[in-house]
Structures are given as C-alpha cells and as structure tokens.
Amino acid sequence: MTLVKIGAVGGIAPVTMGLLYRHKIEQNIKGTVYYKEALRTVRTNRGAVHLLGEPIKDGKIDLDDTETNFTSENSAHYEVPIRGPKQKGQVNLTATGS
C-alpha cells in the first residue's frame, strides 16, 4: 500500500507544478503594459460596453494554441476571451516592438 501512496503523490506533484507554471505564465502576460492597455480600451469603449454589458471580464488565454497565442523576440499575439453579462467575445491583441 505504501508504494501506491508514493506513486499517487509522485503523479500529483508534477501535475500540480505544471498547473502552477501555466498560471504564472498567464499572470505574467496579463501583467504586461500592452495587455492592460488593450483591456482598458475595451472596457472604456461605449460600443463594447453596450454589446457586452458591464463588468467586462477577461478569461483564460489558451496557452496550448501556440499558433495563435505566442510571444516572439519582437512581437506578441494573443486571443483573449472576454465576457459581460449580455454576451461574450474575444480581443485580438498584437504588440510589436523595435
């Protein structure tokens, strides 16, 4: 029975660490200036507020979709799901640097 417990803990620990790592990556993205500015723009846009309602909340970025959501040396692109009380949508965020 002890080996089963060790195996269970040994399996749970990597999964937990992986989830924590993904959460940290997403929080780093959401902490960037370009992300905050894009969401501020949506939340203050009268048309978006009319269609979605308030409050407008951002959802989880699909980090598994590396074709759509990525950061390279000079650019970043993310599709951010958003939702309000009335509807849901997505923000296509692209940032480039020099």
Would you state the pLDDT for residue 24?
92
Would you state the pLDDT for residue 7?
67
71 bridge partner residues: 76
Would you state the pLDDT for residue 1?
59
Would you state the pLDDT for residue 47?
96
Q: In which domain, by residue range, is 40 found?
A: 2-96
Whose tokens are 């940290």? That residue is 24
- Class of residue 71 by CB neighbours under 10 A (exposed 0-12, middle 13-18, buried 19+): middle
> Residue 91: CB partners within 8 Å, gap ≥ 6?
38, 39, 42, 58, 79, 80, 82
Would you state the pLDDT for residue 17?
82
Low-confidence ranges of the chain (pLDDT < 50): none
- Look at the pTM and tell me if it is higher than 0.85: no
Number of structural domains in the chain = 1
